[in-house]
Amino acid sequence: MVSFSSKSASDDPRLTKLIDRLPAWIAASVRFLRKPSGRWLRIPAGLLLIFGGLLSFLPILGLWMLPLGLLLLAEDVAVLQRWRSRVLDWIERRHPRWLESSGRAREPSFMDTRDRPDLG
């Protein structure tokens, strides 16, 4: 039997930092889904993403959907919360720059003229 937890992961600052690095529209969607009132949308969305990940041999669907579905379900399922905590521990050890709160993750573009005084 799967046990559902009433404890939210909103107290984990590492997850909040990762969400803050997402593009604004994605971060807003993730914050909405993480609210306690989003549970009835979060669980079916997580299950559909997991199912889509299992059908990764079809076009458009892919393995990227499987961990995303598990992360959504981890808000409510205690066993997956421990898994998510271990993944965040791994990210903290291996990729500490992902947890920097210096703003959104952004790759410099060759079209970006702000850093080039001759074009800006």
In a domain, 106, yes or no: no
How buried is 57 (Cβ within 10 angstroms: 0-12 exposed, 13-18 middle, 19+ buried)? exposed
In a domain, 115, yes or no: no
In a domain, 82, yes or no: yes
Number of domains into which the chain is organized: 1
In a domain, 23, yes or no: yes
In a domain, 114, yes or no: no
In a domain, 27, yes or no: yes
In a domain, 84, yes or no: yes
| Domain span including residue 92 | 10-99
pLDDT digits (tens, 9 = 90+) for 6-51: 455 457 888 888 888 888 888 888 888 888 888 999 999 999 989 9
In a domain, 39, yes or no: yes
pLDDT digits (tens, 9 = 90+) for 59-98: 877 888 888 889 889 999 999 999 999 999 999 999 999 8
